[in-house]
Amino acid sequence: MQPFLEQQRPAALGVGGADAVKGGTATVAVCTYTVHRWDDLTAAVGSVVRQLRPGDECVVVIDHNEELRARAEAWFDGEPSVRVVASTGPRGLSGARNTAIATARGEVVAFLDDDALAGDQWLPGMLAALAETDVLAVGSAALPRWPQGRRPAWFPPEFDWVVGCSYGGLPTARADVRNMIGAAMAFRREAFELAGTFSTDMGRLGAAPTGCEETELCIRVRRVRPAARVVYLPEVSVRHRVTEDRLRRRYFLRRCLGEGRSKAWVSRLQGAGAGLASERDYVRKVLPPALLRELRRGLRGDRDGLAAAFLIVAGVLAAGLGFVHGRMTRGGLHGRV
């Protein structure tokens, strides 16, 4: 099958300041598990291929789905910069990402969600930041692509992490952070050599609303090399698709519950100090002004403001309940001890 990528690739692959990056080539991994995201997947890969330099590659990792693997191999056949591989790890996003790390040829390994579109300067921007010798990991902004192109008025921006996107409270200029957003990030290979790969006791398994495997890994990297920096780059971005099912209140609460469980497992592995430092600041400094803002909207007669205020409170309570449940659970998030 003739892939659409041949028609979308520009004549020149070299992109502005990325050629000065130390460490050589890059591998961008797109992990996927379901045929229901096929159109998203092909668009995501297309947005990456346009940015690859000679020697770079895109690796599509299929998470235990033979039908999807066969379809992807046929679709991307003839596209020299794209390889399709089957995950050799346990089922789930962490296992797929670890497969990407094992098979990657690049000195930088980047990850893009299969339902995200890389902005024009996404890969060059991350590579340029990683050229700084003390930077081992970077993450870009993930901007929501809302259904019908509009944010729901009842959805508080401080909870955009629920749909895998950058949220209110994150730095608005380049800054060092504890961890990046998993939808769009990159590591120097050195980070994995120092600290190992993603924990397969954590991370998403299919549509299960858990995660934080990148948080745990970044903490581990900093423990091994305290001088290492993880940098957030809001000036480069991806657009992350938000589906209708993720705009249901029930999903919102399930995702908050899952986040609490995930943070409990991070704190168990890496200690509460490192595992919860950012969350404490978020609850103390970011959410109170957000709650007041939404309550003021409600007092002016805006029902969406009251709905948003309710979700802020309910989200915190759900995350707290998930944390308590996670602390009481013996095994990992996926039942592996």
**What secondary structure does DSSP assign to 34-50, as a single string?**
-GGGHHHHHHHHHHHHT
Euclidean distance between CA atoms 199 and 266, whole angstroms: 10
Q: What is the pLDDT of residue 5?
A: 44
Q: What is the pLDDT of residue 13?
A: 29
| 112 and 29 Cβ atoms separated by less than 8 Å | yes
Q: What is the pLDDT of residue 6?
A: 37
| 236 and 119 Cβ atoms separated by less than 8 Å | yes
Q: Which of the pair, 113 or 215, is modelled with greater confidence?
A: 113
List domains and CATH numbers for the chain.
Answer: 5-247 (3.90.550.10)
- Burial category of 316 from C-beta neighbours within 10 Å (exposed 0-12, middle 13-18, buried 19 and up): middle
DSSP 170: B
Spell out where 4-128 has E strands.
Answer: 26-32, 57-62, 82-86, 108-112, 116-118
Q: What is the pLDDT of residue 327?
A: 80
pTM of the model: 0.87
Q: What is the pLDDT of residue 276?
A: 72
Q: What is the pLDDT of residue 279?
A: 85
| 231 and 176 Cβ atoms separated by less than 8 Å | yes
Share of the chain above pLDDT 90, in %: 76
Give residue-wise pLDDT tens across range 125-164.
999 999 999 999 999 999 999 999 999 999 999 999 999 9
Give residue-wise pLDDT tens across range 286-305.
999 999 999 999 999 999 99
Share of the chain above pLDDT 70, in %: 85
pLDDT grade for 268, boundaries at 50, 70 and 90: confident
Q: What is the pLDDT of residue 238?
A: 98
Write down the mean pLDDT value for the chain. Answer: 88
Euclidean distance between CA atoms 312 and 294, whole angstroms: 9
Give residue-wise pLDDT tens across range 16-70.
333 434 548 999 999 999 999 999 999 999 999 999 999 999 999 999 999 999 9
| 71 phi-psi bin (left φ>0, alpha ψ -120 to 50, beta other) | alpha
